[in-house]
Structure 1
């Protein structure tokens, strides 16, 4: 048996369905020929002629109705079996909704590509969280800098959902900033700042959630002010204007970064 898979895109949809169906026939080992990006009748005709010569089963995924109709006409004339994976459902949906299909080939492939970009961005954010992965920092679309608890991680993950590869690095007065950061274009750098009082409350809440004392050096206002002063110095050195997160949600901060 020979199966022709013909599509105006990659043919991924038909390939998956055919392979899934063949699992039900383990003894069957057909020859499968795939023809991708067939977008005109002139391209379709010689393929159909070859299918007729080989008495093949023809499976199509055309979003263009004229190509589906041409395939149907040819297979009927030459007594070839045809499986049209797209047209019947599209016709039903159009009849039920009075909405015309987009007729844009390759949309599943586009969706899959976008999905993998999102996964890659999320993986990057996790691998470059809190100062990790400095050896591949140059691959980041953005690098977020700020003292502890200024929403660096949640903002990084939110931006990763927008397909951006984001790293975040904590600023610690007794920890010199890695030289790799100074090599980055300042357009990639984002600084986050917050009021000392707001940061103290955030840190106290964090300590309580961990079952630790809410009163320590980490939550001391004087110590926090020193941290923020150090961060401000770093931002000046890098020539970037920080974003104040005191009254902003993660979504608002991320939107402002995207606008910039």
Structure 2
């Protein structure tokens, strides 16, 4: 069976590019599981930066989506994209122009206004750094400091879920559950209300792991993607989660955003 190469989408912004990336990710979910690779090009403040993006697309192919509020940069990108036949989408321009007409006012054309460097912004940065530091059992000391602890076997979306929740200002540690290794004792001593177990259908996990092996160029029949091995891992994970008595969410057919919403609702209820 042939597997399509990922479509590459370059998100160009004169700020951090988070708005553009969020829109692209939301749109890409409508085509799941067709792969979409997002390349963020933030803080583009000059024509040289535009040229680098255009050259990258000419070499590797792709689409450009942009949130440029500086007219000169936006116009330059549009002109060069048209010149080279590159599909391009202006996310902010039409909205800003229409609002300007309705309000009878000129926009400020100032990048980064949606992300002011206030206390809330720095909390978000801190949460992201926390998620990276305590990702996938790198350092179990984060369990005691975390707002949320995610438990699950490999490929249950622990890392992307951690990062999504971090952008919502939650400090998240995630712990991989592997039968050959007992989980850290700390998960039995922290409040169970902040521990989230992630469950998944074994057949679904088998497909995900096979795709992961293909991506890495490895044989699809490796033990990692063996159905019987997967069932052993899931049984072990269920045993640990039952012992803790934590809430469990099934991620089999849920997007990361959906699971995150369930997690945040749970945390809000128990706080």
TM-score bracket for this pair, using the shorter chain length: 0.5 to 0.7
Q: Which residue of 2 aligns with 1:152?
A: 158
Deviation at 1:216, TM superposition (A): 1.2
> RMSD across aligned C-alpha pairs, in angstroms?
2.4
Deviation at 1:97, TM superposition (A): 4.0
1:213 partnered with 2:203: no
TM-score (norm 2): 0.56
Superposed, 1:167-246 pairs within 5 Å as 167-246=173-252
Where structure 1 has 5 or more consecutive residues not aligned to the other structure, the ranges are 1-95, 100-107
Any idea what the Cα deviations from partners look like across 1:36-68, whole Å, max 9, x if unmatched?
xxxxxxxxxxxxxxxxxxxxxxxxxxxxxxxxx
**For the residues of structure 1 that align with 2:245 and 2:104, how far apart are their CA atoms?**
56
Superposed, 1:1-260 pairs within 5 Å as 97=103, 112-260=118-266
Whether the 8 Å CA contact 2:193–2:247 is kept in 1: the answer is: no
Deviation at 1:131, TM superposition (A): 0.5
Deviation at 1:240, TM superposition (A): 1.4
**For the residues of structure 2 that align with 1:166 and 1:191, how far apart are their CA atoms?**
13
Deviation at 1:133, TM superposition (A): 2.0
TM-score (norm 1): 0.58
**For the residues of structure 2 that align with 1:245 and 1:136, how far apart are their CA atoms?**
24
Q: Which residue of 1 aligns with 2:56?
A: none
Aligned residue-pair number? 160
Deviates more, 1:130-139 or 1:233-242: 130-139
Any idea what the Cα deviations from partners look like across 1:70-97, whole Å, max 9, x if unmatched?
xxxxxxxxxxxxxxxxxxxxxxxxxx94
**For the residues of structure 2 that align with 1:136 and 1:255, how far apart are their CA atoms?**
23
Over alpha carbons, which structure has the higher Rg? 1
Whether the 8 Å CA contact 2:115–2:121 is kept in 1: the answer is: no
Alpha-carbon distance change, 195 to 241 in structure 1, aligned in 2, over 3 angstroms:
same
Where structure 2 has 5 or more consecutive residues not aligned to the other structure, the ranges are 1-101, 106-113, 267-271
